[in-house]
Structure formats: structure tokens, C-alpha cells
Structure 1
């Protein structure tokens, strides 16, 4: 009896900001790899997640939301997201089904995907927020993004249609229909090698993941301009003889007023950020940690390429 060939390949998760791409990646991997919040543009870097099952491996690339950039960091995020598309076997174009009709951002991403010529699955997320009677109307509205005439009010010569491999309604948050989507993705993969060893779920270094956990708590606890003005750098990560791990991290903001918000009255906000982040970090490392946070001002850091590179925002 012949053995089925091992299937493997790469799959990019793209869409506009805040459609649930990171939640979907975490649902695929059944582990917390990408941070989540209700703030747009939460993901800033490409996040790699490895999905393993008997006879198959899929390497997912979660990407920043494709958006109209207002600074160099935004330009970097767009290049990272769009740059993954030509590298993969399958593209998951994720949209927010709780919004009844696609917007300008969805149309722009659809055009990028269409021009890539890659096999594409339309994933309509957040269907748990849609009334059952409205499902067909929502799915039809987003399905129409495959038509160039829908993406462009005025005809655009050379604009290509998208022939969806499938259109899959899901709730990544409630893990509904995620297994069906995974089966469909695996079916599209061809015979290939096992790129990453069994048990490995990401290629991100510990310092990067820890910094993202800290930034997630800031996103959850602050409002207005502060979340988008924050970067986190883990400067020290040391295992001590006692078995505890010392983590020293700097939180960068752009103005003194933002520094005051992060620290809070008598340090209350900074302590809460640390307490929440510590739980995730200890779960990941499997050790007790001592977390020390410092808040520093780097004026207009999102527009300074040298600072962006030093904080890890550099293209591979």
C-alpha cells in the first residue's frame, strides 16, 4: 500500500486592518503567536506560524493590515504585507463580515491580490456577529470583490478578476469553521518537504514575542494616539540561578505627555501593564519572571528609518 505524499507550503494571511487576521492565525496554530486588540494596525511585522498535521505542514504568514500610510512605519508595514504575497502558494484574503459591504480598503487589497495571480481563498471572518438571515447577502457582497468593475467605479484597463478557490465564512474568535478552512488550505498544498521540525510553531525569537506581549497590554489599556505611538524593545533576557528569568524592556513613545500616560498616576498604569504581560510571558517561558519596564521618549520615531531598523522594523 503506497503512502500518501507529504504536503507542505506557504500561506499568507492578508487584509485591511482589524479584520481578525491575527486571531485567525492563533486559531490555526492553537497557540498565542500574534497579539490581538480592537485597535487597527496592531500587527506591525510578519508573524510566522507553523501548522502541523499527519502528512502535512502549512507555514502561515500573518501580515500587517494593508492601509493608507501616514508615516514611514506605515509604509514599512504595507511593504511587508504586500511582499509576502508573491512568496506563497495560497493567499487568504480576510474580510470583516460584521461590516455588511466592502469598503475602499477591501477593494484596494483585492486589487493587490488580483494582480498577484496567486490562488486565493476569500475568508469572511466575524460571522458570529452577523444575523443568520443576512449571511448570503454579506457573502455575495464580498464575493463581488473578484470583479474588477466592483473594485473600480471607473473602468481600469488591465485590472484582473479573482477566481476564488472558495469563499469560507468563519468566526476565528469562536473557532467556527476554522477546521474546514484548514482542510481546504492543506488540499491546495503540493508534495514538499517538512520545512520546520515537529513541535516548532514559530521562528520568532523569544525577545520579539515578549516585546509583542508587552505592547499588546499597552494597546488594551490605553486610548487615542498612545497605542500607535508605542514600540517595545527587550534589552535584557537573563536566566538566573534561582530559575527565574529577568526581563528588562524599554517602552518607547513619541512625546512626554504619552510617557506620563504609560506610567500613570504613581506608576499605576505601568504596574498594570507589567502584571498583565507577566502572565503571558511566564506561560510562554514556563518560568517565573522578574519584569522591569522603562518608559523612554524617542520623538517622531515612526518617521526615522534608523530608529525603525534598531527596533526590528527592517525588511528581510
Structure 2
């Protein structure tokens, strides 16, 4: 006689799909965590604050769910029109997602920036919030324990009831899967929103521009991160190539605000720009899976961060 199937009569768990975003002060590990969850690079990361400008969606495919991650700029006190627009993007996103993950680095004490965000988050009443203590690989056990207690306290002070508090290291991969496990139950039931295999809905040209900008940000002076914008003007397959040896021509402009910055970006005898091109080209080839010829030019767009017309032209 066959033994009864213990799962007989049990309905399969419903499939869930929806949107979540990570918030936190600049450089809190939001983009690195997005990339770790998706399993590939969809958000640019840099050790300089304020590198994320576009709301990149990374898509996590699971058997039971599809989790779409919206990567927003860090909320900060704006000093320019660009800064105000970035903050507007953040607040609009908070109102539209199904869950919010508030990233707080394990190795840094909670500061005024975190309290400012917590106060803002408390006003978004209906969206469940998970506190994600990032960069646990940089903190010892005692420091981590103190931070978890401090995060719990921060929620109480701000009037936020955390759905969960979870420590994670995106760099070592520790507990990355658990973050997804905690976010998925907060999503509504529904079919997948994107085809299997899609990792982002960001247009390729935007992602390529971001990879170039990431390469350009490395090793430049502190005043430059805000001043660099990248626009991909043209992407065309090289016509005279055989089918088994394709080559994609990518022509892009790096825009800076002042003529004095041009020399910093280009470097002595053009070496810096050449290095930027080499690094970005490797990343673009990895992204697209095809050989690339990358043509970079630097242009001055005077005070573009404060000029509405130029902001529109540069995609903000």
C-alpha cells in the first residue's frame, strides 16, 4: 500500500512580484547590495558619494517570486538644481514601491544623515520597511551588535516599525539571500513583471554611459564627481566586419562644468582619458558580450548642474 503524500491537498505558495528600493545616505552600500542580489553589475558603485543618478532596476528571478529592485540616489541636502531633482526622484520612488530597505553601514555610527532619512521615511506610512545593516565584513561582532541595537532604537525614535532588521555583507555574500527572503513576502501576489533572463529594464545606452562615468570617477579630485555627465551619442555595428568578428562602435561625450576640469579628466598627454576608455571598454564588452571600439571626447557644458535646459539635454 502506498503511503499518503504529505503534500497532497496543499496549494502551492502563490507567486509574488513587485518593487523594492534601497535607501540610505550616500555610500551606504545600496548599489553593491543591488548588484549582489541580481548577481551581476546593474548599478554603478564608487567609493565617492552621490554616484547613482538614474533609477536603475535590477531584477531578481526566483521560482516563487520576481523582485524588482529600484536603485535610487542617496537622499541629501541639495545644493544645486540637480540635487533637488535627485531628491524628488527618491521621494517619488518611495511612494511607488512595495517595500523599502533602509541601508545603514555596520562600521559607521548612526549620524544626522541617517536620522534625516529616518524622519522622511516615517512619513511614508503604508510601505513596509526593512532595516539592512550593510558592510558587516568591516565590523567586529561587538560593533555589529551595538549597531543592530542602535538601528532598533533609531526606528523607535523616528516612529518606524521595522518589518525586519537584517545584517548583510554584499562583498562576501553573507546573508544576501536572506535579504531577498525577507523582502519577497512583502510583495503582492502576481505573475512575473519581466521576461525570464532580463536583469534590468535600463536601456543599454544608459548603462554604458554609467559604466564610462564610473571609470571616469576613479582617482579624480573630490570636486569632480558631481561635475561629470556622460552621454552616449551613437552605437553602431562596424559595417565592414565579417559575421564571426563583429565590432560595435560606441561614441560618447564626457561633459564637465569648467574648462579647468578638462585637464583633470584628460590627464597628462591624454593618459587618464585613455585609462578611463580601457577600463570602461572592458566593462561594456562584458555587459554586451561583443568587442567594442570606444571613442571618448571631453566637452565643457558650463554650470550644467544649475541649468534646467542642460539638465534635460543630459538626461536629468
Q: TM-score, normalised by structure 2?
A: 0.93
Tell me what 1:249 maps to: 252
**Larger CA Rg, structure 1 vs 2:** 2
Q: Is 2:73 the counterpart of 1:64?
A: yes
- Secondary structure class of the residue paired with 1:190: coil
- Secondary structure of 2:84's partner? helix
1:133 Cα deviation (Å)? Answer: 2.0
Of 33, 48, 54, the match for 1:39: 48
Does the 8 Å contact 2:58/2:68 carry over to 1? Answer: yes
Task: Identify the match of residue 95 of structure 2 among 71, 86, 110.
Answer: 86
Q: Which residue does 1:261 correspond to in 2?
A: 264
Matching residue within 156, 168, 181 for 1:170: 168
Q: Deviations over 1:221-246 (max 9, x none)?
A: 31221222100000010012321000
Secondary structure (helix, strand or coil) at the match of 2:123 reads: helix
Shift of 1:138: 1.1
Aligned residues: 301
What are the ranges of 5 or more consecutive residues in structure 2 without an aligned counterpart?
A: 1-8
1:25 to 34, 41, 54: 34
> Partner of 2:194: helix, strand, or coil?
coil
For 2:312 and 2:140, locate their aligned partners in 1 and report how far apart those are by CA, in whole Å.
45
RMSD between aligned residues: 1.1
| TM superposition shift of 1:284 | 0.9
Q: Does residue 123 of structure 1 match 2:132?
A: yes
Report the equivalent of 2:311: 308
Gaps of 5+ in 1: 152-160
Q: 2:111 aligns with which of 103, 106, 115?
A: 103
TM-score normalised by L of structure 1: 0.93
Deviation at 1:90, TM superposition (A): 0.7
Q: What is the CA distance between 1:257 and its match in structure 2?
A: 1.1
